[in-house]
Amino acid sequence: MANIFPKWSNKVPLKAVIAIKLVLLAVIVGFTYYATPKYINVGYQPIQPVAFDHYLHVTQLGLDCRYCHFSVDKSATSGVPATNTCMNCHSAILTDSPALALVRHSYESGDPIPWVRVHKAPDYVYFNHSAHVNRGISCVECHGQVNEMERVYQAKPLSMSFCLDCHREPEKHVRPLDQVYNLTWKAESEQAQLEMGRKFVHDWKINPPTSCSGCHR
């Protein structure tokens, strides 16, 4: 009896199994890349190569966020401080501290300090820091009370619903521009925040996008 199917069809089941396995592998890799605790879990707190204490530097010593995160109000990224920034103080303070050995080595060799990133949006999400802080959104809204953290951790989920909640009701979050970097500032009451926020939203023409193209570009 003549064969009904051509000879090459004998390999179709094998190819189908391979294709399914590749698709599953792609799904697993994608999930691991975008949805592991490293990116979405509240509480993610990696160990940094240098133990930088935000509570000490911000709350006790009074450093402004922009001293280290120099481009936060000028560009999409906040900026990672160069070793020169650290050495502006530590060339005269704690000059022999073992805890700062890597900082001194980086300064002398030119090798960057390998900081471990804590907050990261997926590659398919567009986020501009300057657009937010220049319209009254404080660091604490996304990063939590960093001024109280001895070691930085992810305090907010940074999920799509988290972002949309703020975009749909920005009046709950905006504050006076001169208080954006004052991480301890709070409105006198919830009602005061809403009244002030509505005025800022109107006066500053705040209209954050809620469509897909607003953040997925």
pLDDT score of 200 more than 90 = yes
- Helix 83-90 with 101-109: angle, nearest 10 deg: 120
Q: In this predicted model, what pLDDT tens digit does every residue of 81-134 receive, in sequence order?
A: 999 999 999 999 999 999 999 999 999 999 999 999 999 888 889 999 999 999
Predicted confidence band of residue 2 (pLDDT cuts 50, 70, 90): low
Predicted confidence band of residue 69 (pLDDT cuts 50, 70, 90): very high
**pTM: predicted TM-score of the whole model, two decimal places:** 0.80
Q: Please tell me the predicted confidence (pLDDT) of residue 15.
A: 82
Q: Please tell me the predicted confidence (pLDDT) of residue 38.
A: 53
- What CA–CA distance (Å, rounded) separates 153 from 80? 16
Predicted confidence band of residue 175 (pLDDT cuts 50, 70, 90): very high
Q: Which of 119, 116, 115, 165 is nearest to 143 (CA)?
A: 119
Q: Is the CB of residue 82 less than 8 Å from the CB of residue 106?
A: no
Q: Is the CB of residue 152 less than 8 Å from the CB of residue 118?
A: yes
- What CA–CA distance (Å, rounded) separates 23 from 25? 5
